[in-house]
Amino acid sequence: MRKKRKRKAIPLTKSEQMRRVRGLDTAPEMTLRRALWHTGLRYRVRLRVPGRPDLAFLGCKIAVFVDGCFWHGCEMHYTAPATNPTFWFEKIARNKQRDRDVEAELKRLGWTVLRFWEHEVEGDLSSVVDRIRSAVARPLD
């Protein structure tokens, strides 16, 4: 019986690494969804409104976004990649502008927008849940 040789792991190219980045159902998003569901809050996902919020509460028109620290340029955690810095600077700037545009459009349509950084969800989940619960419980104007 022959021994199987272990293959050396071939490092992924940058393109392959980026292809594996999830856009939906990220770990922080799923953590928040489970916590909200556990507290009895019911929400919709993948709602077709501007910006496609991560969570939406239809009755009170609240859109919740969980922003990744890298992709949205968190001031506490974002570190620009060493390779192709001009591309990344422009990419993050476009993401931030898109976030502002989406927020303005949702507000124009009568929605309340709540944004949380992924580190907030991971570090202080109960505070995030409390802020969402109080927003949902607030009476409509």
Degrees (nearest 5) of the Cα angle 24, 129, 132?
Answer: 85
Q: From the centroid of its chain, how far is CA 75?
A: 15
Please report whether residue 34 resides in a domain: yes
Please report whether residue 14 resides in a domain: no
Q: From the centroid of its chain, how far is CA 123?
A: 15
pLDDT in single tens digits along all 141 residues of the chain = 666 677 777 887 767 766 766 667 899 999 999 999 999 999 999 999 999 999 999 999 999 999 999 999 999 988 888 888 999 999 999 999 999 999 999 999 999 999 999 999 999 999 999 999 999 998 765
Model confidence over 120-130: pLDDT tens digits?
A: 999 999 999 99
Please report whether residue 42 resides in a domain: yes
**Cβ atoms of 101 and 25 closer than 8 Å:** no
**Cβ atoms of 77 and 70 closer than 8 Å:** yes
Task: Return the pLDDT at 12.
Answer: 76
Task: Return the pLDDT at 64.
Answer: 98
Task: Return the pLDDT at 141.
Answer: 58
Write the single-letter amino acid at 51. Answer: G
CATH code of residue 39? 3.40.960.10
88 vs 8: CA distance, rounded Å: 31
Please report whether residue 2 resides in a domain: no
How many structural domains does the chain have?
1
Strand 112-117 and strand 55-57: pairing? unpaired
Task: Return the pLDDT at 22.
Answer: 65
Task: Return the pLDDT at 18.
Answer: 66
Task: Return the pLDDT at 14.
Answer: 65
Task: Return the pLDDT at 2.
Answer: 66
Please report whether residue 37 resides in a domain: yes
**Cβ atoms of 35 and 87 closer than 8 Å:** no
Domain with 88, as residue range(s), is 26-137
Taking the whole predicted model, whether its pTM rises above 0.75 is answered as yes
Handedness of CA 118, 56, 47, 42 (dihedral sign): positive
**36: enclosing H helix or E strand:** helix 27-38
Handedness of CA 35, 37, 42, 48 (dihedral sign): positive
